[in-house]
Structure 1
Amino acid sequence: MPTTTEPKLISGNANLPLAKSIARRMSLHRGTSLNLVEGRVERFNDGEIFVEVYENVRGEDMFIIQPTSNPANDNLMELLIMADALRRSSAARITAVIPYFGYARQDRRTKARTPISAKLVANMLVEAGIERILTLDLHAAQIQGFFDIPVDNLYASPIFALDVKEKFAGHLDEVMVVSPDVGGVARARELAKRINAPLSIVDKRREKPGEVAEMTVIGDVTGKRCIIVDDMCDTAGTLCKAAEVLLEHGATEVHAYISHGVMSGPAVERVTNSVMKSLVITDSIQPTEAVKNCPNIRILPTAPMFAQSIMNIWHGTSVSSLFETETLEPIYEGQFPG
């Protein structure tokens, strides 16, 4: 059992606004002020990262909030070095809260002489002294098996379901959930079940990474309001092309719900000029100003879910209870104005 009367949060530089939002939510729940542990994360002239924790953390239950988003290598090293600093300062337990788990796309050997970088990252996190992982929508669920420590993988679909029911109220019978590829069917089916909607698939064939050669729609989308569901949007090329193909096959409008808005390179420009009516992402990755100012991008908060998950981990109660709408809805009350 932790010796402290409350969990302690510390954040790197990857997504400080989300970390502060989580601390505020936990303060509201607990009725006492809970601030981020003070420290500094600096870089030497050659780019080396230095971490110093200003507060005593001996015997404390520590939660490091740090997505490993762009720049992935810098943010990953920040996380590892912060964990090492806390371990050497005698923290009782270190949990890494990684809203976006970088390197997750490299979860298997796709051809000869290639790495499984997700496993390498898992090994590094454990060696740094991290004893538990809390993350959101891993690219591949089997990555949990790369760790010999507990991994709690939260899902964005319950949050998306609440938003869909609010935004499409009165038109849910016209909604069809679409997976942008065969590999994402399980994720799309999960949202479809929650909103009681049919499911369609866009089958894509790649000639090489980053390029889509051909797309085929499996299922009848005629007259439907299509919702594309995926775990990440990187350059948005596939997403925008899928939206065009769905409209060509008779869909009345296309929306997208994506867990992680990576939004690299031309992504924002593509989304702005696309036929999609809206792209909904979470704040697992700190949005750039361009993303925040894009008229057809909306950002859903994850702080309520992460705050409750952290408290459940600290109390030793169920995290999987947050997968249920009945549990999540009160936490998000007032978050989805009509």
Structure 2
Amino acid sequence: MILPGSASQSLAAALARELDEPLAPVEYQRFADGEGMARAPFEADRVVVVAATTSDEAHVELLQLQDVAGEQADEVVTVLPYMGYGRQDEAFREGEPVSARAVARAVSTGTDRVVLVNPHEAAVADFFDVECTVVDAAPRLAEPLPADLADPLFLAPDASATDLAESVREAYGTGTTDHFEKHRDRDTGEVSMAPAETDVAGRDVVLVDDIVATGGTMSEAIAQLDDPAHTFVTCVHPVLAGSARTRLARAGVDGVWGTDTVEREVSAVSVAPTLAEFL
């Protein structure tokens, strides 16, 4: 049985089709005082809860869905397509919480196993008190790209995302990979970004990252490209908060694509086939 969170209904439906499992009937309610409730009457031996925790409300809803699942099934698997608070994997200043750890511990209380899709920090998997499997959905990002890219360059915003760019390049079947490096002008002190080794002039450039949140990093990177033929942005988690989509459009991108880990207009490809391999 596949049990969807309200932020992951399309992905849950796609996963149900991939696994040929039923989709649980579920209702999401909001009371006058602002509290929510998720109700899902069903019978099943195993329940796969699919819920991106894109907000504090989604976190609470996930805990409720896990509670329902635990009461009605022998095994509960929790799929976190996108793990909110997953970027804070350490305390950066005295007195700060390790938010990813706090969230992981809470999620662990209501499940037998967790599946994560491309967490921003791989170390967060160790915070769970139950078995945690990390799934790489980056190769899926090759699917929506134009089939006729000209001498494509798959470009990561920094060295840490190079593996993602390489995964997309391999899935696409041709092209090269590079990443941005920061350079500080000795005279002015100004910091600029540029691909580490590659000339981009006349080439189709595909920027690859795990998350696009505000669009600030991507827009800054695009501004540093020297005369590319076309520029495309791909990401596993298209959070696109606030004016992120406008920022990217103003930067001159020719296309933006993400997966359905976060369900947005740009979610052009589903991670369901990849998840199904681990379920």
Q: What are the equivalent positions in structure 2 for 1:289-308 lying under 5 Å apart?
A: 292=265, 297=266, 299-306=268-275, 308=276
Letter in 2 for 1:76: H
Match of 1:22 among 12, 15, 21: 15
How has the CA–CA distance of structure 1 residues 163 and 14 changed in structure 2, closer, same or farther, with 3 Å as cutoff? closer
How has the CA–CA distance of structure 1 residues 125 and 44 changed in structure 2, closer, same or farther, with 3 Å as cutoff? same
Q: What is the CA–CA distance in structure 1 between the aligned matches of 2:90 and 2:148, rounded to whole Å?
A: 41
Q: What is the CA–CA distance in structure 2 between the aligned matches of 1:298 and 1:54, rounded to whole Å?
A: 30
Q: What is the CA–CA distance in structure 2 between the aligned matches of 1:111 and 1:253, rounded to whole Å?
A: 41
Match of 1:132 among 102, 105, 113: 113
Letter in 2 for 1:233: V
Q: What is the CA–CA distance in structure 1 between the aligned matches of 2:168 and 2:269, rounded to whole Å?
A: 16
Count of aligned positions: 271
Letter in 2 for 1:100: Y
Q: What is the CA–CA distance in structure 2 between the aligned matches of 1:233 and 1:213, rounded to whole Å?
A: 21
Q: Report the more deviating stretch, 35-44 or 97-106.
A: 35-44
Report the Cα offset of residue 90 of structure 1. 4.7
Look up the match of 1:161.
142
Mapped contact 2:260–2:267 kept (Cα < 8 A): no
Match of 2:86 among 96, 104, 108: 104
Residues 31-58 of structure 1 deviation map (CA, whole Å, 9 limit, x = unaligned): xxx432223332322222333332234x
Q: What is the CA–CA distance in structure 2 between the aligned matches of 1:86 and 1:170, rounded to whole Å?
A: 46
Q: What are the equivalent positions in structure 2 for 1:207-222 lying under 5 Å apart?
A: 214-220=192-198, 221-222=200-201
Look up the match of 1:81.
64
For the residue of structure 2 that corresponds to 1:201, the secondary structure is strand
Look up the match of 1:39.
26
Look up the match of 1:199.
177
Report the Cα offset of residue 191 of structure 1. 3.0
Letter in 2 for 1:263: L
Structure 2 unaligned blocks of 5 or more:
184-189
For the residue of structure 1 that corresponds to 2:78, the secondary structure is strand
Look up the match of 1:326.
none
Mapped contact 1:39–1:55 kept (Cα < 8 A): no
Letter in 2 for 1:119: R
Look up the match of 1:67.
52
Q: What is the CA–CA distance in structure 2 between the aligned matches of 1:156 and 1:282, rounded to whole Å?
A: 8
Mapped contact 1:225–1:254 kept (Cα < 8 A): yes
Report the Cα offset of residue 263 of structure 1. 0.9
Q: What is the CA–CA distance in structure 2 between the aligned matches of 1:190 and 1:39, rounded to whole Å?
A: 36
Q: What is the CA–CA distance in structure 1 between the aligned matches of 2:117 and 2:180, rounded to whole Å?
A: 24
Q: What is the CA–CA distance in structure 2 between the aligned matches of 1:131 and 1:26, rounded to whole Å?
A: 19
TM-score by length of 1: 0.73
Look up the match of 2:186.
none
How has the CA–CA distance of structure 1 residues 90 and 280 changed in structure 2, closer, same or farther, with 3 Å as cutoff? closer
Letter in 2 for 1:267: A
After superposition, the CA RMSD in angstroms is 2.3
Matched, 1:280 2:265: no
* Structure with greater helix percent: 1
Mapped contact 1:175–1:225 kept (Cα < 8 A): yes
Look up the match of 1:3.
none
Mapped contact 2:51–2:81 kept (Cα < 8 A): yes
How has the CA–CA distance of structure 1 residues 75 and 213 changed in structure 2, closer, same or farther, with 3 Å as cutoff? farther
How has the CA–CA distance of structure 1 residues 201 and 155 changed in structure 2, closer, same or farther, with 3 Å as cutoff? same
Mapped contact 2:52–2:82 kept (Cα < 8 A): yes
Match of 1:54 among 41, 54, 71: 41
How has the CA–CA distance of structure 1 residues 240 and 132 changed in structure 2, closer, same or farther, with 3 Å as cutoff? same
Q: What is the CA–CA distance in structure 1 between the aligned matches of 2:66 and 2:76, rounded to whole Å?
A: 7
Report the Cα offset of residue 93 of structure 1. 0.9
Structure 1 unaligned blocks of 5 or more:
1-7, 28-33, 206-211, 314-338
Matched, 1:236 2:215: yes
Q: What is the CA–CA distance in structure 2 between the aligned matches of 1:143 and 1:237, rounded to whole Å?
A: 24
How has the CA–CA distance of structure 1 residues 274 and 104 changed in structure 2, closer, same or farther, with 3 Å as cutoff? same
Letter in 1 for 2:69: L
Letter in 2 for 1:9: I
How has the CA–CA distance of structure 1 residues 201 and 285 changed in structure 2, closer, same or farther, with 3 Å as cutoff? same
Report the Cα offset of residue 279 of structure 1. 1.1
